[in-house]
Amino acid sequence: MKKDAGFAQYVVEDLFAYLSDVSARAMFGGYGIYRSGVMFALIADGELYFKISNEQKEKYAGLGSRPFVYTKEGKPYEMLYYFVPEEVQENNHLFRQLAEDAYELALQKTSKKTAKKTSKKLTLKR
């Protein structure tokens, strides 16, 4: 993966110009896209991907999307992040809707992780 700082800047400053709390952080050769500290998208090889659920795969495939796949030790791994086609990026209404869905999903996952950590900390030993 190659880092593309110019594309990351475009994503944050142009595509998400309507939001003040979006940022990009370099990671694993690409960028994580965060809103209020919650990662909901990523940039890899100069392409934007949104976090999705299994139920959204068909919807994204219908938009001409594909999953983010990385290779480790020669084995491909598919993640629940799907490519955001240029046509979607140019459609403000659809882009914002999908971005909001990705953020809400990421927020739910983050809340569940936090709840698990908190419940482990509160467990009393007898």
Task: Say yes or no to pLDDT of 26 above 50.
Answer: yes
Task: Provide the 3-class DSSP secondary structure of residue 86.
Answer: helix
Q: Report DSSP letters for 8-75, one per residue.
A: HHHIIIIITTT-SSEEEEEETTEEEEEETTEEEEEEETTEEEEE--GGGHHHHHHTT--EEEEEETTE
Task: List own/partner pairs for 63-72 with CB under 8 A and 24 or more apart.
Answer: 63/87, 63/88, 68/42, 68/44, 70/1, 70/44
Give the tens place of pLDDT for each residue, 75-122. Answer: 999 999 999 999 999 999 999 999 999 999 999 988 665 544 444 455
Domain map (residue ranges) of the chain? 5-122
Mean pLDDT, residues 49-55: 97
Superfamily of domain 5-122: YgaC/TfoX-N like chaperone (3.30.1460.30)
Sign, Cα dihedral of 110, 77, 57, 35: positive
pLDDT for res 125:
47
Task: Say yes or no to pLDDT of 126 above 60.
Answer: no
